[in-house]
Homo-oligomer: A and B are copies of this chain.
Amino acid sequence: MSSTRDIDALIELMAKLPGLGPRSARRAVLHLIRKRSLLLTPLADVMQTVAATARECLNCGNVGTADVCDICTSEKRANGELCVVEDVADLWAMERAGVFKGRYHVLGGTLSALDAVGPEELRIPRLVDRVPGENITEVILALNATIDGQTTAHYIADQLDGQVKLTSLAQGVPIGGELDYLDDGTITAAMRARKAI
């Protein structure tokens, strides 16, 4: 099957993507080959471009195609607010919500004794430098409500204690959420943080 080696290699690589297994990778590759001009060629081209240009922002860890990302270079976003997230996906989610107008700091994970992830692996020293360096007045810890996420939030809070206003995202019932489907922890948090109407 020498002449189909490339196709097999493509399937093998596609199967390494999260959410795709061998079977779905084969389906995807067949779909790509069928829609060569519409999908495969443009995808191959843009993939080449991204492979050549994509990099992590040296300042905040966001992904972009420049050494320093658009958000870090934009003066408009320099409003003294810094939102700390675990992952670039979280940054993208915040941007989609469009509610935050400040800058971000992507940790690139959470502290984890098990996986031997310490502050140095997480851009935390860089964060501690940025707070005075960029005249940050408020640091919003938007870390996931997991044990590791909260441990990391507490560690960062200790590091920045007294230097800056520290806040975290409100916890409660998600919009459209049904109590019946919510876990006890969320209901407890929502009840404790109840507000007057």
Contact A6 B40 (CB under 8 A): no
Interface residues of A in 8-43 (CB under 8 A from B): 9-10, 13-14, 16-20, 24, 26-33, 36, 39-43
Residue of B7, B28, B36, B65 touching A7 (CB-CB under 8 A) = B65
In the bound complex, what is the Cα–Cα distance between A37 and B29 (angstroms)? 21
If A13-B39, A64-B4 touch, whether A51 touches B47 (CB-CB below 8 Å) is no
B-contact 0/1 string along A42-85, CB 8 Å cutoff = 11111111110110000000011110011000000000000000
Interface size range of chain A in the complex: 35 or more
Question: Bound state CA distance, A16 and B2, in angstroms?
Answer: 29
Q: A175: CB under 8 A from chain B?
A: no
What is the distance, in angstroms, from A101's C-beta to the closest C-beta of chain B?
14
CA distance A13 to B31 in the complex (A): 12
Residue numbers of A with Cβ under 8 A of B are 1-4, 6-7, 9-10, 13-14, 16-20, 24, 26-33, 36, 39-51, 53-54, 63-66, 69-70, 87-89, 92
